[in-house]
Amino acid sequence: MITQTVFSSRPLVAVLISLLAVPVLLSCRTKDIRETWTFIAATLKFLVVASMLPLILAGNEIRFTVFDVLPGLPIAFRVDAFGMMFALVSSFLWIITSAYSIGYMRSLHEHGQTRYYCYFALSLSATVGVAFSANLLTLYLFYEMLSLATYPLVTHHQDQEAKSSGRTYLFYILGASIALVLPAMLFIYAKTGTLDFAAHGFMGGAFSKSTLLVLVLMLVFGFAKAGIMPLHSWLPAAMVAPTPVSALLHAVAVVKVGVFCVARVITGVFGSDLLLSFNLNTVVCTIASVTIIAASLIALSQDGLKRRLAFSTIGQLSYIVLGVALLSPYAVTGAMLHIVMHAFGKITLFFCAGAIYAASGVKNISQMVGIGRRMPYTMTAFLIGVLSVIGLPPCGGFISKWYLVLGTLQADKPVFLAVLLVSSLLNAAYFLPIVYKAFFCTDEEAQFKKKVDEVPIWCLVPLCITASISVILFFVPQPFLKLAQMGVQAFIGG
């Protein structure tokens, strides 16, 4: 399928833009200049990423080697369809989130805004770096960079709650990557002498089944950002962060980096043939399924809106892991698409949660009865987000879920079909009542006697945009569907 390899420094530029934005942001004197620069950096980054899209869609692959840090093992970038898709989504959503951040941070008068924007830019560098990694070492480098860059964001409030959440966050994320990913990576390198992702994996036949099983488990759990149970507790804890952080990082960038890494490892390191021949993918599927169901059940009982969203995210992430691990063409297509669809849906939900908090100071679902009348735009967007996450038309989420469902059948594993359906019902059960109560309630029930206005325009516009895109993606799933299909072609060749 791949017709040509293009050598270009554009992936490096895409990563560096937001990195270089950091000193610029630090030197800014006023808020306005700082925010302008954030926008400029975000837009430039998106444009650079998007400029590579035609090349990729034409079936090319872009490569760039930065440093030979270890002999024969460079820090190198490789842009393929899958990576492109992820980079496109995250860099696009950075623009939207920047706008939202401005509205949110200003209306709440948060402190340390320079630091906030700097680390945000840094996180995005790392995210795109992960998307474009050509080997496991580069992937690990950017993964760790992301862990560390998000720590000050998660603990932004610098109070005791932030401190303990930050501790949980690092304990899981950094701990798992050092204790599990690093040794697994070193072991693989010591035995195979390479870490370059290959379309069908590079592990060969040098490993016994039990060794492979251990390695798979170490890598799947080690990328704890994917939130696979039992290494998921960091995500609800990280919800102490300001909402734009939760929105972009904990609905899109960080968590998707986790599943992206898992997907890369499954396809690019082990390869579909090897996993299928030992039937190891079923193990991963089972783990993901348990997470899906358990997370949905826990989400039911959460009253904090952001916490409910967090558990929903944990479940949705495992959809992606499940899809990739099924290793049937439709399932992998669905999984890749779900990265995009869920990103737009969930970021809308987080934006709404933040908007509600910024406008009314309310964080808990039980206090949100009747809010739909006060904030009709926000809650409409919320409804769209909910539909997308549940996987109902006319939202993008339906397409990815459709492919996932088809994928379970194609892989001939109906058990996982049941998992998907049950979990969809649970999704509906924990999301729809919120929307229902927001709009339909008696006057006595309504919690908002005082007048609550819609949020500032800076907050409102972004969430409307992401909600509309969620809808648009249902009708026009390109270029993502094409990219996903190309990715599948490369990984599974079917």
Partner 1 sequence: MIRHLPALLVIVPLLTALTVSALSWVAPRLCLPLTFGCIGASLASSIGILVEVIKSGPVVYTMGGWSAPVGIVYVIDYLSAPVLVVVTAVALINLIASSKQIDRDFSDKKGTFYTLYILFVTGMVGIVATGDAFNLYVLLEIAALTGYSLIGIGHERAPLSSLNYLFIGTIGASFYLLGVGYLYIATGSLNMADLARFMAMPEHGTSTMVMFAFIICMTGLFIKMGLFPLHGWLPNAYSYASPASSALVAPLTTKVMIYAMIRVGLYVFTPAYVFGRLQVGGAMVWIAVAAIVFGSLLALAQKSLFKMLTYIVIAEVGYMVGGFFLGNRMGITGSALHIINDAAMTLCLFLAAGAITYRTKSDDFKDLKGLFHQMPFTMTAFTVGALAVIGVPPTCGFFSKWYLIIGGIQAGHYGYAAALIFSSLVNAVLFFRIFETAYFDQPGDGKGHHHGHHKHHKHKNKMVEAPVSMIVPLMITALGLIALGIYTGDIVTHVIQAAIPGGIA
Site residues (vs partner 1, CB under 8 A):
67-71, 73-75, 109-111, 137, 140-141, 144-145, 148, 152, 155, 157-163, 166-167, 170, 174-175, 178-179, 182-183, 186-187, 189-191
**Which residue's CB is nearer to partner 1, number 40 or number 182?**
182
CB 275 within 8 A of CB 333: no
Name the residue nearer to partner 1 (CB basis): 269 or 320. Answer: 269
Q: Which is nearer to partner 1, 226 or 240 (CB)?
A: 240
Beta-ladder partners of 130 = none
Q: Least distance to partner 1 from the beta carbon of 447, Å? A: 22
Structure tokens at 212: 């492979």
Residue among 75 and 226 whose Cβ is closer to partner 1: 75
For the bound state, the minimum distance from the C-beta of residue 24 to partner 1, rounded and expressed in Å, comes to 17
Give the span between the Cα atoms of 67 and 232, in whole angstroms: 34
What whole-number distance in Å separates Cα of residue 277 and Cα of residue 327?
12
Strands of 60-70's sheet in order across: 4-7, 60-70, 73-79
Quote the Cα angle for 16-21-23, to 5°.
Answer: 115
Q: Which is nearer to partner 1, 169 or 260 (CB)?
A: 169
3-state secondary structure of 362: coil
Describe the chain by its helix, strand, coil percentages, rounded to 5. Answer: 75, 5, 20
> Tokens 């102490």 — which residue?
240
Looking at the Cβ atoms of 147 and 423, the one nearer to partner 1 is 147
State in angstroms the smallest separation of the CB of 188 from partner 1.
Answer: 10
Q: Specify the residue, 150 or 348, whose C-beta has the smaller distance to partner 1.
A: 150
CB of 159 to partner 1, least distance (A): 4
| Shortest distance in whole angstroms from residue 68 CB to partner 1 | 4
Tokens representing 222?
């080690």
Q: Enumerate residues 6+ apart whose C-beta is below 8 A from 264.
A: 82, 133, 139, 197
CB 151 within 8 A of CB 225: no
How far apart are CB 192 and partner 1 at their closest, in Å?
Answer: 12
Which of 130, 490, 473 is closest to 333 using CA atoms? Answer: 490
Closer residue to partner 1 (CB): 3 or 160: 160
Nearest residue to 337 (alpha-carbon basis) of 492, 489, 480: 480
Asked if 219 contacts 187 with a C-beta cutoff of 8 angstroms, the reply is no
Is the distance from CB of 236 to CB of 310 less than 8 angstroms? yes
Which region, left, alpha or beta, applies to residue 266 given φ > 0 means left and ψ of -120 to 50 means alpha? alpha
Closest CA to 84 of 117, 119, 123, 130: 130
Closest to partner 1 by CB, 187 vs 439, is 187
Q: How near is the Cβ of 49 to partner 1 at its closest, in Å?
A: 22
* Residue 270 DSSP class: I
What's the closest the beta carbon of residue 21 comes to partner 1, in angstroms? Answer: 18
Closest contact distance (angstroms) between CB of 306 and partner 1 is 16
